[in-house]
């Protein structure tokens, strides 16, 4: 128990960090290393990120070992704010995923991203809800989407990165912060966009 | 590594259990525009929330864990401690399981809970940051324990409970009592204030009807009277306990009820006690350099109209 509380999330966080890449617009993507946003190695050479991170048709990912790999944006859903990037030869291990609907409020969650350009930073918290936003939280009509709402610190640079459960399984893609609450797009919505690609 | 995963998963499950347990006693309180706040079903038929989130006295409703929305009536409110109490139909939902905040130490894992709609309870997670004894908040009320945590009090989380890892409720979180850390109004304060609000709709505080300023006594008086300082009367209201007792401008109160008074804290402690109104207390006073005893019948502090 002592060893575990000292180590806490370090093992699942380490595994997840190996599957998180930097990403930026264009073929060169010089900013990718510094953290325009994050992307998740989903399967094969497919990466999932936020649509607002990759506004062009090409993107460059930067692997955890520092290689820049050019890719193409093959699917995007601006309304739901997710995009899929194909980067052949990236060779980044894919994540395991889980449906957030199976988690209860209060379950531990953690995020990996590049907040303010800090590579692969981990932040931890708990799940608040997987539902449309409460009335009064706003969000220009997008509040009626089902969002993962979590008490976890996100910052610019977390966009497109994973939100994971205590076992390191990705449950959603970090999208934004509304009224201080971290919002992520649930895995089933990502799978819908990926349908037919894998 | 497998052990790590299992233990973490267990912690995660335990936290979710705590949320489910405590969440069963939470309601969403609809008493302000836009966003509801959270209420704790403290005793059967009695819901506690924060005073600052109650923006209207009538047409208040609460949403129960099963999604039903039922009417609630305002039993009373106390600005000083930022607490308000509502009455609902008894038996509407489980009653909160209370903990003892004295057992919480800095570093203990805690949750802030909320209910905002017909969905499930919501949670924020953190640790107890600081604990301590009695204190007086800027709103003037006496809070029985200092209990702060690094929890984020999100919109609508005000009035919700501070919950330990076992799901016990240790108090009510207030977004209005401090800016930096989340402040919890502990069980003892909630119990004390709730009892008064249910009984008479407000918290009665003692009053003597005089303006005062702390002063040091001169060296001779210090030695002779064995008091360092006291409260100098600057004005005395007509037809108030102080004037009825014959207190005069220029009197220095050095003791109340046998206890030395050197500043406002000691006086406010005496006047803040639950049963002080109507009591006759003996004041030791320095008048023109001479010690005098004066008996004052403590009145009730006039309440500001809302």
pLDDT of residue A1: 40
Q: Rounded to 5 degrees, what angle do the CA atoms B141, B146, B150 make?
A: 120
Task: Read off the pLDDT of residues B105-146 as tens digits, 9 standing for 90 and up.
Answer: 999 999 999 999 888 999 999 999 999 999 988 777 889 999
Query: Does residue A49 have a pLDDT over 70?
Result: yes
The residue of chain B with its CA nearest to that of A10 is: B4
Task: Read off the pLDDT of residues B234-293 as tens digits, 9 standing for 90 and up.
Answer: 999 999 999 999 999 999 999 999 899 988 888 988 888 778 899 999 999 999 989 999
Global pTM? 0.87
Give the bridge partners for B281, in sequence order.
B296
pLDDT of residue A2: 45
A100-194 CATH pick, 2.40.10.10, 3.40.50.300, 3.40.228.10, 2.40.50.100:
2.40.10.10
pLDDT (average), residues A12-32: 83
Residue A42's pLDDT band (boundaries 50, 70, 90)? Answer: very high
pLDDT (average), residues A38-52: 94
Contact: B20, A135; criterion CB under 8 Å: no
Pull the structure tokens for residue A4: 């575990």
Fold match between domain A13-86 and domain A100-194: yes
Query: Does residue A4 have a pLDDT over 70?
Result: no
Q: What percentage of residues in chain B have a pLDDT greater than 90?
A: 77
Domain ranges of chain A: 13-86, 100-194
* A151: chain B residues, CB-CB within 8 Å: 123-125, 152, 154
Among the partner residues B3, B5, B154, nearest to A167 by beta-carbon distance: B5
Q: Could you tell me which residues of chain B have a Cβ less than 8 Å from any Cβ in chain A?
A: 1, 3-5, 7-9, 11-13, 15-20, 23, 34-36, 111, 116-117, 119-125, 152, 154-156
pLDDT of residue B178: 76
Distance CA A185, CA B300 (A): 56
CB pairs under 8 A between A and B: 100
Mean pLDDT across chain A? 89
Domain with CATH 2.30.42.10 in chain B: 206-300
pLDDT of residue A30: 59
pLDDT of residue A27: 78
Contact: B20, A106; criterion CB under 8 Å: yes
Q: Which of A3, A106, A138, A148 best tests the B interface by mutation, with the highest count of B CBs <10 A?
A: A106
Buried/exposed B138-165: b ≥16 CB within 10 Å, e otherwise? ebebbbbbebbbebbbbbbbbbbbbbbe
Query: Does residue B70 have a pLDDT over 80?
Result: yes
* A129: chain B residues, CB-CB within 8 Å: 119-120, 122
Domain A13-86, CATH class in plain words: mainly beta
Domain B2-200, CATH class in plain words: mainly beta
Contact B154, A179 (CB under 8 A): yes
Contact B77, B127 (CB under 8 A): no
* A107: chain B residues, CB-CB within 8 Å: 12-13, 15-16
Among the partner residues A8, A12, A106, nearest to B19 by beta-carbon distance: A106
Query: Does residue A31 have a pLDDT over 70?
Result: no
Domain with CATH 2.40.10.120 in chain B: 2-200
Task: Read off the pLDDT of residues B159-199 as tens digits, 9 standing for 90 and up.
Answer: 999 999 999 999 999 987 877 789 999 999 999 999 999 99
Between B306 and A158, name the one with better pLDDT. Answer: A158
Which architecture does CATH list for B206-300? Roll (2.30)
């Amino acid at each position: 128990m002592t060893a575990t509380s000292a180590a806490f999330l370090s093992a699942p966080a380490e595994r997840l960090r190996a599957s998180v890449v930097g990403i930026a617009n264009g073929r060169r993507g010089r900013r990718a290393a510094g953290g325009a946003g994050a992307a998740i190695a989903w399967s094969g050479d497919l990466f999932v990120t936020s649509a607002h991170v990759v506004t062009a048709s090409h993107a460059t990912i930067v692997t955890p070992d520092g290689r820049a790999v050019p890719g193409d944006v093959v699917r995007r859903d601006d309304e739901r704010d997710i995009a899929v990037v194909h980067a052949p030869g990236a060779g980044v291990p894919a994540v395991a995923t889980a449906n957030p609907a199976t988690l209860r409020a209060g379950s531990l969650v953690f995020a990996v991203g590049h907040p303010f350009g800090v590579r692969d930073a981990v932040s931890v918290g708990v799940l608040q809800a997987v539902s449309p936003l409460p009335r009064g939280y706003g969000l220009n009509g997008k509040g009626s989407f089902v969002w993962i709402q979590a008490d976890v610190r996100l910052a610019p640079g977390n966009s497109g990165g994973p939100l994971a459960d205590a076992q390191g399984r990705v449950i959603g893609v970090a999208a934004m912060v509304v009224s201080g609450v971290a919002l992520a797009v649930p895995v089933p919505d990502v799978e819908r966009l990926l349908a037919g690609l894998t | 590594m497998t052990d790590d995963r299992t233990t973490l998963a267990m912690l995660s499950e335990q936290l979710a259990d705590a949320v489910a347990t405590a969440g069963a006693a939470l309601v969403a309180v609809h008493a302000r525009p836009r966003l509801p706040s959270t209420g704790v079903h403290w005793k059967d038929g009695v819901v506690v929330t924060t005073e600052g989130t109650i923006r209207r006295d009538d047409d208040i409703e609460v949403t129960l864990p099963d999604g039903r929305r039922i009417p609630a009536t305002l039993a009373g409110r106390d600005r000083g401690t930022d607490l308000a109490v509502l009455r609902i139909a008894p038996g509407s939902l489980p009653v909160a399981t209370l903990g003892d905040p004295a057992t919480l130490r800095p570093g203990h894992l805690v949750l802030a809970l909320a209910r905002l709609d017909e969905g499930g309870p919501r949670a924020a997670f953190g640790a107890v940051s600081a604990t301590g004894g009695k204190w007086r908040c800027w709103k003037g009320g006496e809070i029985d324990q200092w209990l702060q945590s690094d929890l984020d009090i999100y919109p609508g989380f005000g009035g919700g409970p501070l919950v330990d890892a076992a799901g016990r409720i240790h108090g009510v979180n207030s977004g209005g009592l401090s800016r930096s850390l989340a402040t919890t109004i502990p069980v003892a304060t909630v119990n004390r204030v709730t009892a008064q609000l249910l009984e008479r709709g407000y918290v009665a505080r003692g009053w003597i009807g005089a303006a005062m300023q702390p002063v040091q006594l001169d060296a001779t008086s210090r030695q002779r009277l064995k008091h360092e300082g006291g409260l100098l009367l600057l004005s005395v209201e007509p037809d108030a306990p102080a004037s009825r007792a014959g207190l005069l401008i220029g009197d220095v109160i050095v003791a109340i009820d046998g206890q030395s008074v050197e500043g406002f804290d000691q006086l406010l402690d005496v006047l803040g006690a639950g049963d002080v109104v109507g009591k006759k207390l003996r004041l030791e006073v320095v008048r023109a350099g001479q010690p005098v005893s004066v008996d004052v019948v403590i009145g009730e502090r006039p309440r500001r109209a809302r």
